[in-house]
Amino acid sequence: MGKPTGFMEIKREKGKERDPLKRLSDWNEYAAPLSDEALSRQGARCMDCATPFCHMGMDINAFTSGCPIYNLIPEWNDLVYRGQWKEALDRLMKTNNFPEFTGRVCPAPCEGSCTLAISDPAVSIKNIERAIIDKGFENGWITPRIPEKRTGKKIAIIGSGPAGLASADQLNQAGHSVTVYERADRPGGLLTYGIPNMKLDKEVVARRIRLLTQEGIDFVTNTEVGKDVTREELQEQYDAVILCTGAQKQRNLVIEGREAKGIHFAMNYLTTTTKSMLDSNFKDGQYIDAKGKDVIVIGGGDTGADCVATALRQGCRSVVQFGKHPQLPTERTSDNMWPEYPQVFNLEYAYEEAQAKFGDDPREYSIQTKKIVADENGNLKELHTIQMEKLVDESGRYTFNEIPGTEKVWPAQLVFIAIGFEGPEQPVLEQLGVETKNNKVAAAYGKYTTNVEGVFAAGDARRGQSLIVWAIHEGREVAKQVDHYLMGATVLP
């Protein structure tokens, strides 16, 4: 490495973020890049470690460690340190189709398994990655790559999220003709409608879609396969089909009072908000408005955090997020050792904003909703909760016991359910005759073939709700399998 002692001499610099209170007045991205000089210093912190665990890409204890797309992180860290940005971009694009997405919204498991993170703050890998690709677009280094020849093979990809886009990109570069079907009015899947604009600007997504279109990929929107396009039509028109529909069946909350007016699934809230913003800058009123309301988000994950941030920008009166687990420790515990993903407390952008506006972190831990109460008109009025104690039984399984005397009533006019996803929605799978297992498409990892000849599956539809980097990984991998299926061999990396 260019700076062998950099990790000892230079401290980690946190990526810049706009003031929490000021950014609540708009929907622009809250994060901003570091200067070139700061990024060079951060690149210099990358160690000359013999085994770079940052790109090992595997699950340990149900959490991802290292980069699943095996980014050549030490190489482009060193190139950024040296100021060789164009070369850094070339290295980055060898493994990652969409660094502008992962550099913004990936939870950075690469940093959790960074060798430096054994005893010190990790290298700022995510910030460097975003800066490389942004500089590539700014300097005109990213241009359409038109395949020199076409194979004559046609492929239909159902779903335009990261898995669908990655497989489309790879197969198009192999010379196949690719059509991507999307039932929404804009391509991008959850990149467009599932992640708020303040985390991932929709122009960043649209820019990539435009580039893929220029490279020869066809996007067909407002089209639901199984309804607008039949299985027979797909089989007649295409040589292979890839299912990348995601895992969008939201898990419901089964509880007394669930039918009260004012209770919504989190994804419906985020989707309608983004669509209204893109369609009319909220002038159409076609979204769920939290203005002046007491908001409760049930579910402690990232989707719930995005609901908190959205409600804050709409001017909610108060916002609370319920989670069933205890607060995480400030440092790794003995059962969460490196290179596992660090299960430690942190203040995400939404919580920082809520704290700045209301004075408190909006999260409530170890809490369970017992019932929901509506008023005489059926409108949501309040939630009744109780605190829980998390215990480990003799077999090592976790159990949750109620703590008597901790009952509480919370006023609320809006509740968002963000307790995860059960798997892919079934109608399209049933229409195509695809078998499922555990609510997911039955397709073996590494092969991605379904029970239907010529039909493959990848991403969340196959593996369940996961990270964008896993979706890109599976999109790239399924592309190799489809290329081999069609041509008898594959040229794809």
Strands (DSSP E) found in 58-153: 58-60, 63-65
Please give the C-alpha separations between residue 143 and each of 92, 94, 201, 215, 492, in angstroms, as whole numbers: 15, 15, 20, 9, 20
Q: For residue 234, which of 431, 468, 48, 464 has the smallest C-alpha distance?
A: 431
By CB atoms closer than 10 A (0-12, 13-18, 19+), residue 404 is exposed
Task: Give me the phi and psi of 456, to 5 degrees please.
Answer: -120, 165
Do 225 and 179 lie in a common domain? yes
Q: For residue 166, which of 216, 92, 97, 94 has the smallest C-alpha distance?
A: 97
* In a domain? residue 281: yes
Using the 3D structure, point to which of 363, 386, 419 is the last residue of a domain. Answer: 419
Residues 402, 368 contacting (CB under 8 angstroms): yes
Q: What is the dihedral of CA 465, 469, 471, 475, to 10 degrees?
A: -170
Do 401 and 475 lie in a common domain? no
Number of domains comprising the chain: 3
Residues 29, 15 contacting (CB under 8 angstroms): no
Do 302 and 412 lie in a common domain? yes
Please give the C-alpha separations between residue 36 and each of 30, 31, 83, in angstroms, as whole numbers: 19, 16, 8
- Show pLDDT as tens, one digit a residue, over the chain (493 residues): 678 899 999 999 988 899 999 999 999 999 988 999 999 999 999 988 888 999 999 999 989 999 999 999 999 999 999 999 999 999 999 999 999 999 999 999 999 999 999 999 999 999 999 999 999 999 999 999 999 999 999 999 999 999 999 999 999 999 999 999 999 999 999 999 999 999 999 999 999 999 999 999 999 999 999 889 999 999 999 999 999 999 989 999 999 999 999 999 999 999 999 999 999 999 999 999 999 999 999 999 999 999 999 999 999 999 999 999 999 999 999 989 999 999 999 999 999 999 999 999 999 999 999 999 999 999 999 999 999 999 888 887 888 999 999 999 999 999 999 999 999 988 889 989 999 999 999 999 999 999 999 999 999 999 999 999 999 999 999 999 999 999 999 989 9
Which tokens hold the place of 474?
Answer: 């599976």
* Rounded CA separation 333/471 (Å): 29
Residues 339, 67 contacting (CB under 8 angstroms): no
Task: Give me the phi and psi of 352, to 5 degrees please.
Answer: -65, -40
Do 429 and 409 lie in a common domain? no
Do 228 and 210 lie in a common domain? yes
pTM, whole model, 2 decimals? Answer: 0.96
CATH of the domain at 204: 3.50.50.60
Question: Which residues span the domain enclosing 445?
Answer: 154-248+422-487
Would you tell me how many other CB atoms lie within 10 Å of the CB of residue 331? Answer: 9
* In a domain? residue 301: yes
- Across-strand partners of 410? 383
Contacts 24+ apart (CB under 8 A), 230-236: 230/431, 231/431, 231/432, 231/433, 234/156, 234/432, 235/454
Do 54 and 90 lie in a common domain? yes
Do 257 and 376 lie in a common domain? yes
* Rounded CA separation 157/212 (Å): 14
Do 371 and 466 lie in a common domain? no
